[in-house]
Amino acid sequence: MKSNPIRLTGTSYAVLALFDQCGGEATSYDLKQALDSSIQNFWPVPHTTAYEEPARLAKAGYLTARQEEGGRRKRVYALTEAGREALREWAADPSASAPQLKEEAVLKVFAGGDPGPLLAARIAWHRGKLEEFGEYLDAVRGVEGMEGQERALRVGTGYHQKMIELLESLAAEVERAEV
Amino acid sequence: MKSNPIRLTGTSYAVLALFDQCGGEATSYDLKQALDSSIQNFWPVPHTTAYEEPARLAKAGYLTARQEEGGRRKRVYALTEAGREALREWAADPSASAPQLKEEAVLKVFAGGDPGPLLAARIAWHRGKLEEFGEYLDAVRGVEGMEGQERALRVGTGYHQKMIELLESLAAEVERAEV
DNA sequence: TGTTCACCGTTCGTCCCGTACTATACGACT
DNA sequence: AGTCGTATAGTACGGGACGAACGGTGAACA
């Protein structure tokens, strides 16, 4: 089945995991939605990934593709046993690549930008995310089959809170140094 | 001078900023060192960037290149006025692209991996980083011309501490759910 | 029946990134 | 002096990741 062997990246497994959580079957659009509302906070990917990666995975036999005939000829992908197995194996391995944070606002501060506006904007942004998550969480809380999403959202919430704390202490430190 | 116009990315500015902090002149290797000991925590880049990006920037007129003749024909780059100006302009703009965290351990937990070992390993990793930074900080504290590095290290320290807190609360939550 | 707008899907070029590799310097040991 | 081991310095390259830009689809409303 692996007509075209490929290298599986973290993103590949992220996609496989989302299929798994969707019951093994989904369209790229479903995937895109799931991406935005669950893993964006610890594994961000651009939306094109939701279209490109399943195609890659299907070529290698980890998914099957079935094209619908309707107007928007959607493609429905489904996990194969190979896909499920690859995912399980990867998740069972307790090693993981080093975490990475990319924070342009902090980079700008480092580069000499005025910390005040930069950090304030960023803090506001995180606050907005928290609010957004509150709504998502309300929609998802207790719903059958949404436990994965819910947990992901709680992780996200914690992440944004910690970032706010970090940025605030950074802002305070900078301000102290100014004076 | 911009014989070959290029798009400046966050990484481009990171490199320019490091040149600036090095007094405007440095070799790729100097850059690589600076990369590892300062911005890795909020703007990680692979070491090849320290060789590739200056070449790109030089082609577009933001740096000048001067090749040494010695055994390791090092290339010494220096900021041009255009480079300095581009950096200043970028840093002065208070907007910044959304921050991104990539955390494979959390992704694995999301995908069904056993949280215990995954989170424990990650927490230990962050603790190691904290220790490492303690040493760096001792070496740099109060040294003339190292204020940039020092601040970057303090940001890094805060980041790792917050991540430890986040992962610990996540681990606690998961454990509670298990029981 | 047209216009508008939100939704859905894809293409493409460039940047990024990790792996693997080469080369130079230098001290240690014999 | 030779050669070995290791840290230091630099490069090549293939393919994944990214984002801008665009094109199609369908329902609402006039």
How many interface pairs between A and B have CB atoms less than 8 angstroms apart?
174
Short-list B42, B41, B65, B40, CA closest to B52: B65
CA distance A79 to A1: 13
Nucleic strand C contact set for A 28-87 (CB, < 7 Å): 28-29, 47-48, 51-52, 72-75
Cβ of A112 within 8 Å of Cβ of B13? The answer is no
Pairing of strands B63-67, B25-27: unpaired
Contact A155 B20 (CB under 8 A): no
Rounded Cα distance between A41 and A45, Å, is 10
Handedness of CA B156, B161, B163, B164 (dihedral sign): positive
What value does the mean pLDDT take over residues B87-101?
Answer: 95
**Pick the residue with more confidence: B73 or A38?**
A38
Which pTM value belongs to this model?
0.92
**Of chain B residues 48-77, which have a beta carbon within 7 Å of strand C?**
48-49, 52-53, 70-72
CB contact under 8 A, A112 and B17: yes
Average pLDDT score, chain A:
90
Give the residues across from A164 on adjacent strands. Answer: none
pLDDT score at B2: 47
Please tell me the least confidently modeled range out of A5-9, B22-26, B91-95, B132-136: B132-136
Mean pLDDT is highest, among A25-39, A139-153, B98-112, for: B98-112
- Give the residue from B52, B62, B75 showing the smallest Cα distance to B6: B62
Residue A168 has pLDDT above 70, yes or no: yes
Q: Which of A16, A12, A27, A41 is nearest to A155 (CA)?
A: A41
Neighbours of A87 (CB within 10 A): 24
**Residue A123: other Cβ atoms inside 10 A:** 19
Specify the DSSP class assigned to residue B20: H
pLDDT at A175 (0 to 100): 85
Question: B140 vs A78, B38, B134, B153, B171, CA distance in Å?
Answer: 54, 11, 10, 10, 35
Which burial class, exposed, middle or buried, applies to B12 when counting CB atoms under 10 A from its CB (0-12, 13-18, 19+)? buried
Widest CA span of chain A, in angstroms? 67
H runs (alpha helix) in chain A: 10-21, 28-37, 49-59, 81-92, 104-110, 115-140, 147-178
HSE-CB of B59 using CA atoms within 13 angstroms:
11
Instruction: Taking residues A147-159, report their average pLDDT.
Output: 89
B43-65: per-residue pLDDT in tens?
Answer: 999 999 999 999 999 999 999 98
Residues 104-133 of chain A within 7 A of strand C, judged by CB, are none
Q: Do A101 and B97 touch (CB under 8 A)?
A: no
Question: For an interface test with B, which of A12, A49, A97, A107 has the most B Cβ atoms less than 10 Å from its Cβ?
Answer: A107
